[in-house]
Copies of this chain bind each other. A is one copy, B any other.
Amino acid sequence: MKTVAIVGVGLIGGSFGLALRAAGFTGKIIGVSSPDAAREALGRGIIDEALPLADAAARADLIYLARPIEGILSVLDEIDQSVKPGTLITDAGSTKSAICCRATEKIARGQFVGGHPMAGKEARGAAAAEATLFRARPYILTSECSQLEELIASFGARVVIMPAEEHDRLVALTSHLPQLISTALAASIGTEPEAFRVAGPAAMDLTRLALSPYEIWRDIFDTNATNIDAALGVFIAKLEGLRDELRSPRIEHEFENAAAAARRLRGSS
């Protein structure tokens, strides 16, 4: 692997470039981005050169698509004619079924493997990119690919192979549901003008996601609404169950079950 093209050099694409370098990659990294983002990525040494998509695709051995979902779908529509046969193409989109489906339709010369690093932070753009962003985090791949698995493992990430449909069902619960919960909680607290006077750590922790800009969520809702609706159904039923048992000793059992699930998530039981 001599040349890598990163399409969308923001937080995730930029962190991928930095992680590549930190893992010892000595080849060329080409960026495909807006002029401002490309300048920032060049300035930080994340990319060696900025090129238009077709030119970058033609030179790359690995193409990393790190735009929002709609942007990834658009690139998949047009990129195949530009790539060298056998070029490995992967992405970092937040839902996988729509993207993998599009890739199956449109990618023939290249080889596509869907990806999703479960990493992120509030700050955005290449300025916020970090070589360690993926470390100790799950990184989902939608099919086996030893070259990509080794690369991602070298970033310190935990590679998880999982079909696109299962990924989308699970992240509806673990990622998309938390966002909607945080947004609904902030909106609820917003109904009380005096609430900010008493807000402690719990309110702060649970409304942090509500600061996320909508633009990254539009595509997620568009491509995963059925799973998200099901996750909301499970959650609202659990919450109504707690509501019914507020004054009942049975609620202790619900707290214990939930605490056990929270510990399992942390790998500690």
Question: Which residues of A are in contact with B by a Cβ distance under 8 Å?
Answer: 118-121, 137-138, 140, 160, 162, 166-167, 169-171, 173-175, 177-192, 194-214, 217-218, 221-222, 225, 228-229, 231-232, 234-236, 238-243, 246-247, 251-252, 254-267
Contact = CB atoms under 8 A, between A and B. Distances in A.
A179 B202 contact: yes
Contact of A200 (B120, B185, B190, B206): B120
A181 B183 contact: no
Given A198-B118, A263-B211, A184 B247 contact: no
Given A197-B160, A258-B210, A204 B238 contact: no
A195 B265 contact: yes
A176 to B, nearest CB: 9
Contact of A264 (B184, B190, B235, B260): B190
Contact of A205 (B209, B217, B238, B242): B209
Contacts of A201: 118-121, 137
Contacts of A197: 138, 160, 162, 170
Contacts of A267: 196
A83 to B, nearest CB: 29
B258 A190 contact: yes
Contacts of A266: 204
Secondary structure call for the A interface: helix
A263 B196 CA distance: 10
A100 B248 CA distance: 24
A208 B107 CA distance: 42
A138 B201 CA distance: 10
Instruction: Choose among A184, A204, A212 the residue with the greatest number of B CB atoms under 10 Å from its CB.
Output: A184
Nearest to A179: B202
Contacts of A195: 170, 173-174, 265
B138 A259 contact: no
Contacts of A178: 185, 202-203, 205-206
Nearest to A234: B188
A187 B247 contact: no
A261 B198 contact: no
